[in-house]
Structure formats: structure tokens, C-alpha cells
Homo-oligomer: A and B are copies of this chain.
Amino acid sequence: MTRTAHPSNFPAKQMLSERVYAHLRDAIMRGDHAPGDALKPQDIAKEQGVSLAVVREALVRVVGEGLADRLPNRGFAVPSFSDRRWQEIAEARRSIEPVVLRMSIERGDVDWEARVRAAHHRLARTPAFVPEEGEYYSSAWSEAHRVFHRTLLEGCGNLVLLDTFDRLWTASELARRFSAHRDPDRDHVGEHRRLEEAALARDADTAAEVLVRHLTQTAAALTGCAPQTTEA
């Protein structure tokens, strides 16, 4: 029998559209599809075992986050950004993140300090590359990297600014994936250590400067990663 016994907090079987959305988002961020590839609702519906409506909803959400393009009456596609757009994303980060970092350093409390230390520790102990995942940064490292950078900013206590960071980070990560640029010579560990030290020492000037340099190098590693130019 289909008794829907719901004793207080049930595992909360999430909506199908949520599941499809997460799957789609992960697939795109993981680089499963090449830039410009069509995302056909019917194919996705079949492989996910759901109807077109839920796929459509998920795709619309993905488009809203900039993880896919939509051409009316012509379907959805993995975005293929121009070099110019990659540079704009990087510049936006260089413009905004230092400002937020300064606020964070000024306002962050002890709990924030502790979380910065924890995030840095995890990042430093996670290998950036593992054989199984080829040329790409390991997914564990990518996540630890994101959490470290976000935690650095979380002291600002402003959810709107953090949401802005999240958007820029997502766009930036997409760029990193498509660039397939390994850049093994780069001293990630040192850069992140200096960031952590300056932040915990409440040295906003140094922290902001280190962050801008960090972002500039990231941007440099991404130039020339755009296969096509599909910008409006």
C-alpha cells in the first residue's frame, strides 16, 4: 500500500526537476559536454526517465545561472563564451572580491577565523590532481578551493555580496573547465597560505593585494581558452 506515513521530518523526496537540475548543472560544470553542444530536452528526458516538462524547468533554471544558452525556438546549448567574456568575468572578480574581502576582514569574528583556518587546512591537504581525473583539477580540490575563497569573504556577513561571489565563481569555474589548462607550475599552496595569513592578521591591504594577484594569474591561465566566439 502507498501509505504516505510522514513521521515529522521525512527524507523529503525532492522534486524530480530538482534532481534533473542538479544532474544537468554537475554535468556542465564537470565538462561532460563541449561548448556549443545542444542540450536536447528529449534526450535528457529519456536518459533521466522523466517527462519533458521537468527537463524544461531544469534547463530554464540552468540558463538563469548562465550555465547554458537559450535560443528561442532553437533549443538549449552549452555556452561557448568568447575570450572577451572570460576576461570580463576575471575582471569582475578582480573588481569586486577585494572590496568584499576588506569588509570581511574588518567584520569577521572568531568563528569566521576558525572557519578560514579549517577551509585552508582542507584545501592545503587536498591534492590538486589525481590520476583518475586526468588533466583536470580534482573535484575534491575544486570544491575545497571554492569553499576556501568563499569562507574568506563570508566574514562580510552580506548574503547579497556572497551571492554575487557565487555567480562569478560559477562562471569562472566554467571557464577553467573549458580551458583545460593545467598550469602545474603555479604555486597555489603558497598563494593561498599568504591569503590566509594576511586575512587572519587582519591586514586588509596585503590580503586584497594578494587576492588581486591571485586572480590575475588565474585569468592569465585562461586566455585563449575560447574555442568559438558566440557572444552577442
Contacts and interface: CB of A to CB of B under 8 A. Distances in A.
A149 to B, nearest CB: 17
A65 B171 CA distance: 16
Contact of A92 (B57, B61, B161): B161
B64 A160 contact: no
B60 A159 contact: no
Contacts of A5: none
A102 to B, nearest CB: 9
A91 B161 CA distance: 9
A72 interface: yes
B72 A14 contact: yes
Nearest to A90: B160
Interface string A117-141: 0000000000000000000000000
Given A53-B53, A60-B57, A60-B60, A92 B15 contact: no
B88 A160 contact: yes
Interface stretch (A93-101, A186-194, A207-215, A222-230): A93-101
A221 interface: no
Nearest to A98: B99
A85 interface: yes
Contacts of A89: 160
A168 interface: yes
A9 interface: no
A73 B114 CA distance: 37
Of listed A53, A60, A85, A167, residue having the most chain B CB within 10 A: A60
B64 A158 contact: no
Interface in A56-114: 56-57, 60-61, 64-65, 72-73, 85, 88-89, 91-92, 95-96, 99-100, 103
Contacts of A73: 15
Contacts of A171: 160
Nearest to A64: B64
The 10 lowest CB-CB distance pairs between A and B, nearest first, are: A64-B64, A92-B160, A88-B160, A88-B158, A60-B60, A92-B161, A95-B99, A89-B160, A57-B60, A53-B53
